[in-house]
Structure 1
Amino acid sequence: MMLRFNSLEGRIVTLFLVLILAVQAIGLVVIEHGINVNARSSIATELLNGEKVLRKLMEQNAQKQRFSAQVLARDTAFVQAIGNGDEEDRATIASALANSGRRARADLTMLIDGERRVIVENGIVKNGSLEKLVLGLLDKAEHNDGASAVAIVDQRPVQVVIMPVKAPLTIAWVVMGFHLDRQLLLDMRELSQLEVAILTRDPDGTWTPRETTLPAGVMPGVARTLQTLPDNLARPFDLDAGGIHYSARRLPVGVDGARRADVLLARSIDDAKAEYTGLQRTLVILTVVATLVACAVAVLTAMRIAQPLRQLAGTARRMELGDYDGRIDLERKDEIGALAKAFAGMRDGIAKREQEIRRLAYWDSLTDLPNRAQFVLQLGEALAAARQREQVVFVLMMDLDRFKHVNDVMGHAFGDALLQKVAERLRALLGETEPQAQLARLGGDEFVVLLTASSTDHAHKVAACILRALEVPLSLEDQTVDIGAGLGMAAFPINGADPESLLSMAEVAMYAAKQRNDGAVAYDAAMDKSSAKSLSLLTELRNAIERDEFRLHVQPKIRLDTGEVVGVESLVRWAHPERGNVFPDEFIPFAEQTGFIRVLTGWVLDQSAALCSDLQRQGIHLKISVNLSTRDLLDQDLPAKFKEILTRHQLAAGSFCLEITESAIMDDPVRAQLTLERLHAMGVDLSIDDFGTGYSSLAYLKRLPVDELKIDKSFVLNMENDIGDTKIVRSTIDLGHNMGLRVVAEGIETEAVWRLLAALGCDQGQGYFMSRPIAADKLVGWIAAWTPPARSALPYSDTVGSA
């Protein structure tokens, strides 16, 4: 039987094979890693023991060499010849030294007299570094009856032994030197099975092989490898010599300034791992056998599992086509048999519930009205018929008023019963007046009516009837509930051409009706544009802060008696990348409505603080006025935020004057006054903006911690022509001064109004006559160029007096 990879059998077999292969592969990797670790550990031990063996061999050689030197040093005739010190004896000494060196197979001999001078030497040319090494060991040789060391002579390592000549005091020293030759390496290899090499390093850092048991052709590569290693490396390192991998250890045996001699001990990693090869071969065979067995077991298991499942899959396909008949013949007592029985029960249950599901999918279980899905189907059919007959179709959508309040107060059970009553009333009303109308519940407290083959007037009449019916109180559980509804209408083909569009438009009109509260509202495209524009504006406002599109402008505030610039009012402008300059009237009310005004106020305060700090560094001290909105006053964190800004810019609170309107205070007088008191306690000035336009100015003015009144420009603009405005301004100035407040007039557009306000005693003013709002970075230049009007007799003294 052929197995398909994408079949259940193929996947089961594949899973078994992947698992067994993965387990075996992991096992092989782990074992290979263990073999490698054990081999390297064993090699490291061998290298460490090899170092001990090498040093022991060198020590034995040194002992043998010291014995040869000792025989000569104790020869009576030789000692007597040295003691005489005659020239005739010098030849005897040299001959005895040479003969003894030949017998000992020494590569160099030397005699040093009691004055520590070299008097006889054989075998090498005079070597200063060798003499220096030997002279440094004389004392040690005298005290220890001999000494040995490794010197580098003619770039070759030489083992030097020194024996004192005593008669009975030390009268000379016999020195013999023996090259570290290949015999040492062969002895070492025989004892330790390690490869051995002797190398010397020149002052320029070049390593030169001297003797080695490794093939001669690989030694240049070994020397290059040693050049890359640090001098003090004490641990084993890897070495590639002639394609064979070694683990090696370097042992220093002699140092002569920049020259040094090292012995290299190396052990083949491949040879160390060779003893594990049989184990690896056995593991591979076991892996292959286990894989074949697992494959056979997997095939049998897969066939046993998949065959009954194929039968169940065939039954499921028939169920998919709506065929719920037929038996499932699987007489098994295992889990698959239980699955077959459960599958049969599920099939019967699905058959019974499908009808119920279809009903629930398209009908509202609470009111037994069509739900949104069913209404969309009905509306689609009505639109198709209307297209053929060129008729008008109306969708009337309504949303109950105060239903959320009913739910919150009376509970959801009461709310559900109320919705049922509303559905009964609407069904009865339409049954009497519009039998062809189709009523549905969209969800929550939203109902919708479909009018086919209707007209605009008729639709409005039906809507009015529905609204009147819903205004009649409902009695439920000894409770009388007053309800109403907002009703919106959309028409095909006037407003939309598909069900979803008509429902969306009717919903927009419905919310407009709830806002206007003046009956049914027909859909108008302007409603959607306004909504989309508002959403777009909020997004753009948020982006404007991030993209630094807002600009700070200021309007100077002038003392009217002297013409001195004493402050500025901070204003915000929006440099939109596509719309150009956007004025505050276009976005401030929306920002206030959405709550974005708090972010904007924070930006203005921070920018104003930066401007104030910059002006003070230039010696210009002005009081900065910033407007606060209703939402700002209700923000209990505003004082802390403002303090943080002042601290960051190193400013005193007295550098600012915060302006608030009367209407902003009246929205929540208690919270507003609490915020104002905390701000005033910090030392910041507070100003009542647009004074005189509110309704409770005098009632709250005496309780507010304010320092300034700002007369609204509506009273100032026409003062010179309207005696009534002049009286109001005069009264306001007197009121402010009597309460100890500073009075500021805004909207000064002519010199005549300036002089009239000065005559009335107004303290400060601002307006187009002095300056329109200017960019903050141009303020310093404007102040330098500012020239107040010349003082002269006030032309309005009579008018003022009569007022």
Structure 2
Amino acid sequence: MRFHFRSLESRIVTLFLLLIVAVQVAGLLLIQRGIDSNARASISVELGNGAKVFRRLLEQNAQSLRFGARLLARDTAFVAAIGNNDESDRATIESALANSGRRIKATASMLVSAERKITATTSESQSAGLEKLVMSMLDQAEASDGANGIAMVDRYPYQVVVMPVKAPIVIGYIVMTFPIDGQLAGEMQSVSGLHTSILTRDRQGGLLPVASTFPAPVIAALTHSIETMPARLDASFDVTVQDARYSVRQLLLGEDAGQAVSVLLVRSIDEAIAEYARLERWLLGLAVAGILISAAASVFTAKRIAQPLTLLADTAKRLERGDYKGQIEFKREDEIGALAQAFDSMRDGIAKREQEIRRLAYWDTLTGLPNRAQFVLHLNDSIAEARKRETPVFVLMMDLDRFKHVNDVMGHSFGDALLRQVAGRLQVQLANRRNTSAQVARLGGDEFVVLLPDTTLEQAQVIAREVLTALETPLSLDEQMVDIGAGLGIAGYPLHGDNAESLLSAAEVAMYTAKQRNDGAVVYDAAIDKSSEQSLSLLTELRNAVERNEFRLFVQPKIMLGSGKAVGAEALVRWVHPERGNVFPDQFIPFAEQTGFIRVLTRWVMEQSAVLCRQLAAQDIKLKISVNLSTRDLMDQDLPVKFAELLARHELEPSAFCLEITESAIMDDPVRAQNTLERLHGMGMELSIDDFGTGYSSLAYLKRLPVDELKIDKSFVLNMENDIGDSKIVRSTIDLGHNMGLRVVAEGIESEAVWRLLARMGCDQGQGYFMSRPMPAEQLAGWLEKWQPPGAPAVVAESTLAE
């Protein structure tokens, strides 16, 4: 079995094994620690009990000696012999001492007189060595009816018993000694199971092993180890001798003239924990067996978990490659089985959704025709095939006429039904031509396209005429007849392009040309694209003009018609091209509005107008500057914020500006336009409807707009002196504006007669060539100094104007 280190299976096995090993090791450590602690506690108890047992043995020996001495001390003949104090009884005394000592296994017996002198002994050498200790014990023996102690003779320890002889007063003392030797050590080991060693320490601190249950090499090494350690009496400590560990307790038995005798009670640690060690080995074996069994179980469990997941991962990879046919073959009743079932359901769901997505991505849901993406694929395939076979491929692109009007009048549902009928008519028309493998697609909106593989230009033109003829036949829909035509463009490979995008682009250019010319089907010609190239060049030049400061601000004064006072000026933009010279606004303003560049121009005009306001204010000239806003400006919801920043930067009041908006700009999107205008008006800016009367605005809607001014379009003003119709329109507009509480401004005043006529009608302000043509902004201050209004026009009553 192979494991990948980063695989789920190996991680599960590793995790389980780590947990199991950690638990087993922790358990073993705890058990081992418990065993060691229990063994130490047991050894300590054994050594403590051993100390008690050894002291009990010594006490028993002392009692045995005292008993023997007491029997002799109460022997009548022995007491009489001592009492006679006759030299002839000395042999009797010594014989009694010897016999009594042999009975109790004493090594030496002696008699001390009442005068505290040794008068008889069975061992002169021991008597000499014991004399000092014995003499120190006589008082205690007399007081307590006997005394015992420990004595050292030639570095060997003895247990000494002193018993007074009374008749009835003390007439002497019997002294008996018992060796502390191997016999006592052996008895101790047989009773307690502890190794026992008897040691003596001389005045220099050297230790001498007197007797031991250990072999000589072991007791010698043990003695040496203890000599190098600080003295620890009546306390347990560990030593290691010849790779064996022992727990030792040293008992001080007694001291004599600077010498000491002690006993070592020793318990082998290895022997004490031998049973525990066997238990540990069993536990270790069980732990290893448990780990092996757990490892096998974890491997089995990991495979049970990981293998289905691996199968699911393989299924996911097949799904990623787009293969939705593979079935998940294993069945389980657990959570993984539920996951597999859910995964299988997901596979079916993804397959169905991808099929639907492909349908939506490549097919038009309304007509059932291929969409643009699918058509491009077909076109590229056809071009590739045509390249191999060196045959042409043509594309017919058509855009329906008057479809927007049908949508607006009849509604979108009617328009959708119309598109479906057009698609069906195109399919029927092309299906009737059995010698062509034409394909129809809907590009979007009311645009359709036809792919004509292996078709000549002449054949494509014939098919195009047939299609247009079929579309010109009125359509019957919801009991209504609808006349609809189309503009159709033709482009082909390799004549007009070598890929799908270039062919579609060429066909589109030809199609729009056909709609403009109203000329049926138009074959693409490179000359048609020149206007597009010029437009592109114009956009680039406009952008460069801003960077190169080629625009100039012009203004046209606005005059009060009643007093002749100049109260404002309309800001206009002029383009001084380095090669073309002066470019008139009609040549670039409409294009700027189409491309969205008008927003850049509006910001430029506002900036320059703000600078002009600051300059005029510095000369104590107060004029309201009017700036034109386009449709795209009104659609910019951030326009009020931009104006606020400009006013703050130039320290100007909003009342310094009047913003002019055309009716058509407002009506393109009335809701958004009204929202923008209300925010601008709320800032304090005045608003004016420019070119009033030329648009299609609703008066009911206009009355809700926050405007302050109406500007009558110059087309009504220029000829009003001679055209009674224009004059009536102007008068009605003035009355309408005043009734709505608005200021009325007339554009296009080119004569004093028109000035006076407008003044009689009550028009508030005017501008035109009669007062001044548009001039560079820097000349405005000079013009104001020289301006002389014409004679005051006659002002008649409202009743007269009504006539």
TM-score tier, shorter chain, comes to 0.3 to 0.5
Name which one, 1 or 2, has greater alpha-carbon Rg. 2
Q: TM-score, normalised by structure 2?
A: 0.45
